[in-house]
Amino acid sequence: MNMSNCFILLAAGQSKRFKSKKPKQYTIYKGKPLYQHSIDKVIKSGLFKYIILVVNNLNNIKKKNSKNIKIITGGKERSDSSYLALKYIKKFKVGNVLIHDAARPNFSISLIKKILRGLKKNRAVIPFINSTDSAKYKLKNNIYNLLRKNTLLTQTPQGFKYKDLFKIAQNKNKVQDESSLFIDQNLKVKFILGERNNFKITFNQDINNNISFGIGFDIHRLVPKRKLYLGGLKVKSKLGTLGHSDGDPVLHAITDAILGACKMGDIGQKFSDKSRKFKDIRSTVILKKVINEIKQKNYFINNIDINIITQKPKISIYKNKMIKLIADICEIERNMINIKGKTTEKLGLIGKEKAIACEVITSVTKYD
């Protein structure tokens, strides 16, 4: 960890163009809030002592993060939020500062390293990509052509020597990004090639493109001398589920629902009860394998709704622990999972405590 590096994440925007009830930075994207992708990536890099998260409402931050992350309230405009963060870190001994928009979750750690390397010899390092579209410039009633080869589309994170940036930022000029402060002052800026994947999420359709749904169902007979697993938990019971694997109907139904939503077959095709290698396999292992497969195909879970149908045991006792375990395996937030316990009013095999069933519906999004 470099003791002089600070990362500022701007997540205080109002997201008017996104047209959602909540700002886009708190929208779930690939299994977690949009802003959290940048936080996790920066922590993983190990390159920053201080991480400043600038938000419009402290109540919007649900997840507890590292002690090194300081959360502050931003201003009305982007430039206001940036200045407030720069002012806040004045008390720290910061050499380099990187400023990033939470709406760009797909940058790589390699890009961060390139920016920091550039700051060894430069006061400002800005990633860019070339425009692939024909561009025009409108000034009052006149329209001018811009040469595509001369048009730079700047990205974040943008890197600066802290003292230089803070000195200029005190003028509180309204700008679209921090590089504009340097350019307006005719100060030298080092431009480096950015990343095409590091696009900015602006509109709702940028994030919600391919949503599909899947249904899962499983039922197991209850028999003596077998363990009872429900939702990955070992539940105290005189009877257990009969099955080739550990017989967990909850995780089996979840797995089938996910496979169905992703159009990837079913649990019987992938984990045949005719195969000896799956004999007594834990259903947590099965579900984890499927999660890894769907991630490789760019599918991410939006929500899981679960009905556990059983006369005994009472599901309410185990619900919270099940949700935590399933969320950890599926790599999603706990509030994306709902569990309901149902009985059959003592009707049928389930009502006579001879079987346990589970039904699940889930939705997934495929990101291009």
Q: What is the pLDDT of residues 141-157, one digit of tens each?
A: 889 888 888 888 999 99
Task: Name beta bridge partners: 126.
Answer: 191
Contacts of 16 (CB under 8 A, 6+ apart): none
Select from 29, 1, 2 the least CA-distant residue to 11.
29
- Give the pLDDT confidence score for residue 229 in this predicted structure: 92
pLDDT digits 0-9 by tens, 25-57: 888 888 788 999 999 999 999 999 999 999 987
Whether 344 contacts 350, CB under 8 Å? yes
Task: Name beta bridge partners: 98.
Answer: 7, 159
How far apart, in whole angstroms, are the C-alpha atoms of residue 312 and residue 135? 66
State which H helix or E strand residue 268 sits in. helix 267-270
Query: Quick check: 1 pLDDT over 60?
Result: no
pLDDT band at 348 (very low <50, low <70, confident <90, very high): very high
Contacts of 241 (CB under 8 A, 6+ apart): 220, 221, 222, 223, 226, 228, 229, 247, 248, 249, 356
Assigned token pair, 126: 């800005």
- Give the pLDDT confidence score for residue 209 in this predicted structure: 63
pLDDT digits 0-9 by tens, 106-145: 999 999 999 999 999 999 999 999 888 888 888 888 898 8
Say what angle helices 283-296 and 249-261 make with each other, to 10 degrees.
10
Give the number of other Cβ atoms within 10 Å of residue 239's Cβ: 18
Whether 124 contacts 190, CB under 8 Å? yes
DSSP-based three-state secondary structure for 284: helix
Say what angle helices 34-45 and 109-118 make with each other, to 10 degrees.
60
Q: What is the dihedral of CA 36, 39, 44, 47, to 10 degrees?
A: 170
Assigned token pair, 271: 């984990």
How far apart, in whole angstroms, are the C-alpha atoms of residue 285 and residue 292? 11
Specify burial of residue 166 (Cβ count, 10 A radius: 0-12, 13-18, 19+): middle
Query: Do the bridges between strand 152-154 and strand 210-223 make them parallel or antiparallel, or are there none, so unpaired?
Result: unpaired
How far apart, in whole angstroms, are the C-alpha atoms of residue 128 and residue 168? 22
29 vs 180 pLDDT, higher one: 180
Domains of the chain by start residue, with CATH: 5-206 (3.90.550.10), 210-366 (3.30.1330.50)
Whether 105 contacts 37, CB under 8 Å? yes
Give the number of other Cβ atoms within 10 Å of residue 273's Cβ: 11
Specify burial of residue 256 (Cβ count, 10 A radius: 0-12, 13-18, 19+): buried
Query: Quick check: 2 pLDDT over 60?
Result: no
Task: Name beta bridge partners: 158.
Answer: 99
